[in-house]
Structure 1
Amino acid sequence: MFVGHAAVAFAIVAGGAVRRGWTAERVLAVGLLAGAFAALPDVDIAYALVGVAAAASGDALSLATAFWSTGNLVHRAVTHSLILAPPVALVAALAGPARRDTRLGAFALAAGVVVLAWSVSGPLGAVVTVPFVIGAMALGVLARRYTDHAPPTVFAVGLVGLVTHPFGDLVTGEPPAMLYPLDTALVAERLVLAADPTLHLLAAFGVELATVWAAVAVAGAATGLRPRTVVSRRASLGAGYAATVLLIPAPTLDLSYPFVFSVLGVGLVGALPRVRLVGTADGPTVEPPDWVVAGLTGLSAITVAWLAYTVAYVVVG
């Protein structure tokens, strides 16, 4: 759900801005800011690089295992807390204005969050929290420099991004510690979308695709873009991905990498240039697609590939 977190926040915040009649530029700016805040909690997974470094001589599967086994030591705790989301959003809002008193307030509040994490989770908790609050401050500064949004808006947008993030993790792993630092679980078990582990993974992937399409729809509403008018017919090539049901292991949450990386690779068809060998005065031509066509065609191809694989798995399995 790495992309899905940002897409959900973008769709919610930008959708609200569209309903309020904001200009396309302001809608996209506030939506991107919300998406950045929603992605920020996963900064805690950076600690997983320690495990990757230790397993650098292993194969791809060993590296992936080391990444998650190390990252999960601190993942989905302090940075995924609904209780700490308001103060961290406030850190971002206070860091933006170029006033000494508000900047000092941001630093003091950020330091308080780090101290709290240290007292509850020890040095490792503090190590993870430092980039979290620094990232929030950076987003606040960027919001001041590149948008016209006031600190209250930055706080509200940041809060939406930080609060929505942990709910997206309820189907992809261990539930986050959403009430951290309290030793109480708001949700104790993963939400199961299907009894079959492969269908659960495919359903979770479908949910993420749906969030991305929701963000695309909102962006289209803001800019007047109609995705169906720019998607190339090459997206239908994704249907051929169904054949991989016979070639790769059935994906589950414990072994998702072969499926995820290969199905995302299908999206590269969107970047293929259009080649014309005949019919032009200047001879053969190569026309690369613009980034909108490439992105939406790639996303469509991935969606078709996911649907094709799901149908094939149900039929073959």
Structure 2
Amino acid sequence: MFVGHAALAFALVGSVAVVRGWTTERALTLAVVAGAFAVLPDVDMVYALVGVASATGSGALAVAGAFWSTGNVVHRAVTHSLVLAFPVALLAALRVVDTRPTRALSVALAVLLVGLVAAVGGSLAALITLLFVLGAATVAAVAGHHAEVTAPETLVVALVGLLSHPFGDLFTGEPPAMLYPLDAALVTERVALAADPTLHLLAAFGTELGTVWAAVAIVCLATGLRPTTAVGTRATLGAGYAASILLIPAPTLDLSYPFVFSVLGVGLVGVLPRVRLVGRGPSVEPPDWLGAGLTGLSAITVAWLAYTVAYVIV
């Protein structure tokens, strides 16, 4: 559930920017950069590709299982540390300044971080850390060069993205090692949203949908967009997804792929063209990207709600 991390950071930074009266372009730019930093901790899942390459079995579930089982070897450790988030954010801010002294300082800080993690967690953790700091430097460089994001702004939005990410992972899987490399745990157990494992999964999925809608709300506030004018009636087709309760296994954290892939597939109704009967015959109009996106998101939300109601009733 990578999208939720970006959406949460986007909404947090965007809401502050809107309240403070910043221009639409500036508010959305900083929100997007925060979202990019929020996704960055999941760079540790690159290691999961090793599992995909060596997966036994040809089914989608076998590949997905290999992806997560391999990725979890290093997932939610060094890149999800609240302790390391501060030096990584500082490194990103230094990269924006881009002078000879700051470049030397950022490189020295990167070497120090990689060396520290290597001493604590070994070569694999050090490699993940290297990818982590390179990713942070890249995001900062792009933001500074193309969006003119300043070093202080980069420091703040990077911290929002990096610090918010681990808390979004408390509903799924094992709690992140938030105090890495310290030998201590800030949270030791997953936050349970429901005693029933299926309702927990559905609640976690609904929470992520909520963060996405929060990001949409910020865009609407910043631009004056009215989402009701962009959402097509096709979104109501998502209600038919309730019938899938008879076709797919009840989703849990251990077996979520059939539900997640299929419910996201409902969002494809957003790209369907509009057919109208005008004049001598039907008129086919392809949807614009905004209408397709919001209609698809609405269809997914309706499908999730319909499935949840059906599960509770059945």
- Please classify the TM superposition score into its range, dividing by the shorter chain length: over 0.9
Instruction: Please name the residue that 1:313 is paired with.
Output: 311
Post-superposition CA distance 1:221-253 (Å, at most 9, x none)? 001111122111110000000000010000000
Does 2:174 correspond to 1:155?
A: no
Does 2:9 correspond to 1:9?
A: yes
CA drift at 1:280: 3.8
Query: How far apart, in 2, do the equivalents of 1:28 and 1:63 lie?
Result: 36
The amino acid across from 1:60 in the alignment is A
Which residues of structure 1 form unaligned runs of 5+? none
The amino acid across from 1:286 in the alignment is V
Instruction: Please name the residue that 2:200 is paired with.
Output: 200
Query: How far apart, in 2, do the equivalents of 1:267 and 1:236 lie?
Result: 11
CA drift at 1:285: 3.2
Output the TM-score relative to the length of structure 2: 0.98
Query: How far apart, in 2, do the equivalents of 1:21 and 1:148 lie?
Result: 19
Does 2:122 correspond to 1:125?
A: no
CA drift at 1:57: 4.6
Alignment of structure 1 residues 54-93 onto 2, 5 Å: 54-55=54-55, 57-93=57-93
Post-superposition CA distance 1:244-296 (Å, at most 9, x none)? 001000000000000000000000001111123x4246x54321111111100
Post-superposition CA distance 1:97-154 (Å, at most 9, x none)? 2311111111111111111111111001011111110000001101111223210110
The amino acid across from 2:302 in the alignment is V
Which residues of structure 2 form unaligned runs of 5+? none
Instruction: Please name the residue that 1:223 is paired with.
Output: 223
Query: How far apart, in 1, do the equivalents of 2:232 and 2:79 lie?
Result: 40
- Conservation of the 8 A alpha-carbon contact between 1:97 and 1:141: no
- Conservation of the 8 A alpha-carbon contact between 1:44 and 1:128: yes
Alignment of structure 1 residues 181-192 onto 2, 5 Å: 181-192=181-192
- Conservation of the 8 A alpha-carbon contact between 1:120 and 1:181: yes
SS of the residue corresponding to residue 178 of structure 2 reads coil
The amino acid across from 2:303 in the alignment is A
- Which range is displaced more, 166-175 or 94-103? 94-103
SS of the residue corresponding to residue 252 of structure 1 reads coil
Instruction: Please name the residue that 2:301 is paired with.
Output: 303
SS of the residue corresponding to residue 191 of structure 1 reads coil
State how many pairs are aligned: 314
For the aligned residue pairs, the C-alpha RMSD in angstroms reads: 1.1
The amino acid across from 2:309 in the alignment is V
The amino acid across from 2:286 in the alignment is P
% of aligned pairs identical? 68
SS of the residue corresponding to residue 84 of structure 1 reads helix
Query: How far apart, in 1, do the equivalents of 2:273 and 2:236 lie?
Result: 16
Post-superposition CA distance 1:147-184 (Å, at most 9, x none)? 23210110011001000000000001100000000111
The amino acid across from 2:135 in the alignment is G
Does 2:274 correspond to 1:286?
A: no
Output the TM-score relative to the length of structure 1: 0.97
Query: How far apart, in 1, do the equivalents of 2:46 and 2:299 lie?
Result: 30
Query: How far apart, in 1, do the equivalents of 2:55 and 2:288 lie?
Result: 39
SS of the residue corresponding to residue 195 of structure 1 reads coil
Query: How far apart, in 1, do the equivalents of 2:20 and 2:110 lie?
Result: 32
- Conservation of the 8 A alpha-carbon contact between 1:94 and 1:151: yes
Post-superposition CA distance 1:60-107 (Å, at most 9, x none)? 111111111110000000000000001000111111223111111111
SS of the residue corresponding to residue 82 of structure 2 reads coil
Query: How far apart, in 2, do the equivalents of 1:199 and 1:212 lie?
Result: 20
Query: How far apart, in 2, do the equivalents of 1:269 and 1:56 lie?
Result: 34
The amino acid across from 1:279 in the alignment is V
- Conservation of the 8 A alpha-carbon contact between 1:96 and 1:141: yes
Instruction: Please name the residue that 2:176 is paired with.
Output: 176
Query: How far apart, in 2, do the equivalents of 1:144 and 1:314 lie?
Result: 49
- Conservation of the 8 A alpha-carbon contact between 1:96 and 1:103: no
Query: How far apart, in 1, do the equivalents of 2:209 and 2:175 lie?
Result: 21
SS of the residue corresponding to residue 194 of structure 1 reads coil
The amino acid across from 2:238 in the alignment is G
- Conservation of the 8 A alpha-carbon contact between 1:74 and 1:125: yes
Instruction: Please name the residue that 2:243 is paired with.
Output: 243
The amino acid across from 1:117 in the alignment is V
